[in-house]
Amino acid sequence: MKPLLLLDLDSTLFKTTDFWNDFSVVFAQLSGQPAGKYINHYLDIATGEGRLKTIDYSTLLANAHVTAESVRVAMQKQATNNYIFDDARTLIKKLPQIQNIYDIAILTFGQPLFQTLKIEHAPEIADIPVYITQQLKNAFIKQHFMDRPHGVLVDDKFGQELPLGWLEIHIDRTAKSYEAPERKGDDIVRITNLGDVVDCINLH
């Protein structure tokens, strides 16, 4: 069995803030509310703490008397942004270089209904298998992937406490400009551009 390369979705491959802004406008129109009720209040609407904070999409729909299908259709008509980061496109183009060595998948945290809505607006990653979890990612990996020889997680959140032998590649989206990859621990590498992921894996 091959090792596994897991790619985070939100704020790693996917422009979550841009998506939320567009979603807020669409959802407000469908629910008859001002867009400001949602667009500036992501953290107020989210539930959970720390890395378990997420949008309770089912409750949001129920409270607004809006269906998931109506949102999906409205988003297809009105959302015009491309939500994949430019450096994510660079990474996607490089993935064939390692697909014979690694199994590649997306690992994203959140409610399946909401995460699936995001993925539907990211055609560049449509062919990559997706795991959606409501566990911490390290717990999900320990539960499902410990039969792998080792693995890599690329994520915008630092310090994932991955199992022994796994490499964490932390994409730092706060960096103002490009910086070369920097080792932050025995099994953690900080990068500022996803285009460096394949090289970091090859050097590990």
Domain containing residue 101: CATH number: 3.40.50.1000
pTM of the model: 0.93
With a cut of 80, say whether residue 41 has pLDDT above it. Answer: no
Residue 136: what are its φ and ψ, rounded to 5°?
A: -60, 145
Give the pLDDT score at 180.
96
Residues 93 and 63 in one domain: no
For 42-62, what is the mean pLDDT? 82
Residues 64 and 86 in one domain: no
Residues 122 and 185 in one domain: yes
Residues 20 and 31 in one domain: yes
Q: How sure is the predictor about 186, in pLDDT bands with cuts at 50, 70 and 90? A: confident
Q: How sure is the predictor about 81, in pLDDT bands with cuts at 50, 70 and 90? A: low
Give the pLDDT score at 189.
96
Count of the separate structural domains present in the chain: 2
56-64: list long-range contacts, CB under 8 Å, 24+ apart.
Answer: 56/111, 57/111, 57/113, 57/114, 57/117, 58/111, 58/113, 60/27, 64/27, 64/30, 64/31, 64/33
Q: How sure is the predictor about 16, in pLDDT bands with cuts at 50, 70 and 90? A: very high
Q: How sure is the predictor about 54, in pLDDT bands with cuts at 50, 70 and 90? A: confident
Residues 168 and 98 in one domain: yes
Residues 68 and 96 in one domain: no
Residues 137 and 147 in one domain: yes
Domain range enclosing 21: 16-78
Give the pLDDT score at 49.
77
Residues 101 and 57 in one domain: no
Residues 162 and 62 in one domain: no
Residues 59 and 127 in one domain: no
Residues 156 and 189 in one domain: yes
Q: How sure is the predictor about 79, in pLDDT bands with cuts at 50, 70 and 90? A: low
With a cut of 70, say whether residue 70 has pLDDT above it. Answer: yes
Residues 33 and 124 in one domain: no
Polymer length in residues for the chain: 204
